[in-house]
């Protein structure tokens, strides 16, 4: 298992974690943007290599559980390369796609990759691409039927603020869905996964993307992210109801969902 950090390791009140080091909160956003600027063009390839393609199954399950319907509007936060947005549109079908999904990402380089992919799929007009911060979404109150974030919440400086923003932009009856790496729940798999994460992922980053440091940060960001029950409690504290989670691949990843009532 990628161990949950001891509470004694928490950063000071005026700092935040960037990987395994404490940094000023105002500095973390720029550091995270730098990571994704570096990896944007190889991001999807690296996801395939790091997970042996399993991330595709996780994302398919994520959108199936979301159950998007024609006429609904969704914001996908930290979704720059478009993976979740494309799946939502495929699920909705061709009849009611225009403007159905907003992709909001901190990193323009990631959005550029997503727009290129959308052009290739003939979906550019179906998605609005917005550079923005999960903690200050450039959206009106109660304007969305669904909020999704996949493998992005752990990169946010103030998770609770981002959860509050998610609730703010959802309509009453709107649903919140988060797909994120989590805590392995199966014996033996936890140790194997920890060894793989520490040794293989940074090496893949060095060989394939030419950037070991960014992928070491991603491993460390997983280690620092709250375990399933802790994240569930924070989602409920943000004002969501009927919150729950479902483990994927023995807890390597998890889907958290909740409703704005």
Q: What distance in Å separates the CA atoms of residue 172 and residue 258, rounded to the nearest whole number? A: 12
What six digits make up the tokens of 101?
A: 């999904």
Q: What distance in Å separates the CA atoms of residue 105 and residue 53, rounded to the nearest whole number? A: 23
pLDDT digits (tens, 9 = 90+) for 124-182: 889 999 999 999 999 999 999 999 999 999 989 999 999 999 999 999 999 999 999 99
- Tell me the torsion sign for CA atoms 115, 51, 57, 161: negative
**Do the domain assignments include residue 5?**
no
Task: Indicate the SS3 state at residue 251.
Answer: helix
User: If pLDDT is split at 50, 70 and 90, which confidence band does 222 have?
Assistant: confident
**8 A C-beta contact, residue 224 and residue 5:** yes
**Do the domain assignments include residue 239?**
yes
Q: Please count the structural domains in the chain.
A: 1
Which of 75, 83, 86, 58 is closest to 180 using CA atoms?
Answer: 58
pLDDT digits (tens, 9 = 90+) for 179-190: 999 999 888 898
**Do the domain assignments include residue 19?**
no
**Do the domain assignments include residue 86?**
yes
The DSSP H or E segment spanning 101 is: strand 101-105
Start-to-end CA span in the chain (Å):
35
pLDDT at 130: 96
User: What's the pTM?
Assistant: 0.87
**Position 20 pLDDT exceeds 70:** no
**Do the domain assignments include residue 7?**
no
Here the CATH number for the domain that contains residue 55 is 3.40.50.150
Write down the H helix ranges in the chain: 25-39, 43-51, 54-66, 83-92, 108-121, 159-169, 189-204, 212-224, 228-237
**Position 242 pLDDT exceeds 90:** yes
**Do the domain assignments include residue 10?**
no
**8 A C-beta contact, residue 144 and residue 167:** no
Q: Minimum mean pLDDT among 25-34, 95-104, 110-119, 171-180: which range?
A: 95-104
**Do the domain assignments include residue 94?**
yes
Domain of 199, in residue numbers: 27-259
The whole-angstrom distance between residue 210's C-alpha and the CA centroid of its chain comes to 23
What six digits make up the tokens of 257?
A: 């969902």
Write the burial class of residue 208 (CB in 10 Å: 0-12 exposed, 13-18 middle, 19+ buried).
middle
pLDDT at 95: 56
Which of 25, 41, 3 is closest to 214 using CA atoms?
Answer: 41
């Amino acid at each position: 298992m990628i161990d949950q950090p001891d509470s004694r390791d928490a950063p000071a009140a005026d700092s935040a974690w960037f990987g395994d080091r404490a940094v000023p909160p105002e500095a973390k956003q720029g550091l995270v943007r730098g990571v994704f600027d570096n990896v944007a063009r190889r991001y999807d390839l690296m996801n395939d290599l790091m997970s042996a393609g399993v991330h595709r199954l996780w994302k398919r399950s994520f959108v199936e559980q979301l159950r998007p319907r024609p006429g609904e509007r969704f914001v996908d936060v930290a979704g720059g390369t478009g993976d979740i947005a494309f799946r939502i549109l495929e699920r909705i079908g061709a009849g009611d796609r225009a403007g159905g999904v907003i992709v909001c990402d901190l990193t323009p380089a990631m959005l550029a990759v997503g727009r290129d992919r959308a052009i290739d799929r003939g979906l550019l007009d179906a998605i609005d691409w917005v550079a923005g911060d999960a903690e200050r979404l450039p959206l009106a109150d109660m304007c969305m039927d669904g909020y999704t974030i996949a493998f992005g919440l752990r990169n946010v400086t103030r998770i609770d603020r981002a959860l509050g923003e998610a609730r703010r932009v959802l309509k009453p009856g709107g649903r919140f869905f988060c797909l994120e790496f989590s805590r392995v729940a199966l014996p033996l798999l936890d140790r194997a996964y920890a060894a793989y994460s520490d040794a293989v992922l940074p090496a893949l980053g060095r060989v394939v993307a030419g950037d070991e440091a960014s992928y070491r940060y991603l491993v460390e960001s997983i280690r620092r992210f709250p375990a399933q029950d802790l994240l569930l409690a924070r989602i409920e504290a943000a004002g969501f109801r009927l919150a729950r989670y479902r483990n994927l691949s023995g807890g390597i990843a998890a889907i958290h969902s909740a409703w704005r009532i």
